[in-house]
């Protein structure tokens, strides 16, 4: 699989249907807008020239994690799940973050997504806390 940053509106449009498999309640136009933000990096995994998965990342500097890459979106297109593309994307993000002096790659996942938690456990991610929020 070839992994590269997806730039430009045309390439990001191709990624929108895959991202919406994770964020199904988001409008396509909203996905296109947030994937184009300056601080957001969208990486695409291409197999035989076809986009099969994406990873959306931002670099952050905060007290509880120092410098880290926050993995907002990791989605493999439904027909390609289980083929190892997600793991390749995560490993790419880890390498990319290391090259940018990050100490961690971090993410949040809903409590009900136990399969997702097991997947990241298997990749060596450690559960260390909770994300707490309140709707305004």
| Per-residue pLDDT, 65 | 66
Whole-angstrom Cα distance, residue 47 to residue 44?
10
- For residues 79-103, give the mean pLDDT: 97
pLDDT tens-digit readout, 57-67: 999 887 676 89
- Residues 7, 54: contact at Cβ < 8 Å? no
Q: Average pLDDT, stretch 100-117?
A: 91
* Average pLDDT value for residue range 55-82: 91
Instruction: Give the mean model confidence (pLDDT) for residues 100-121.
Output: 92
Q: Residue 120's CB: how many other CB atoms inside 10 A? A: 18
Q: In whole angstroms, what is the distance from residue 114 CA to residue 123 CA?
A: 14
The chain-wide mean pLDDT, for the chain, equals 93
Region 76-92: mean pLDDT is 97
């Amino acid at each position: 699989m070839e992994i590269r940053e997806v730039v430009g509106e045309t390439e990001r449009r191709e990624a929108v249907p895959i991202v919406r498999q994770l964020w199904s309640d988001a409008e396509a136009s909203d996905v296109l807008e947030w994937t184009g933000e300056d601080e957001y990096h969208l990486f695409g995994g291409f197999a035989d020239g076809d986009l099969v998965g994406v990873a959306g990342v931002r670099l952050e500097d905060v007290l509880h994690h120092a410098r880290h890459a926050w993995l907002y979106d990791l989605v493999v297109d439904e027909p390609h799940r289980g083929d190892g593309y997600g793991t390749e994307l995560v490993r790419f993000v880890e390498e990319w973050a290391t090259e940018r002096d990050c100490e961690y790659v971090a993410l949040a996942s809903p409590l009900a997504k136990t399969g997702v938690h097991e997947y990241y456990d298997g990749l060596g991610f450690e559960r260390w806390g909770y994300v707490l929020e309140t709707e305004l």
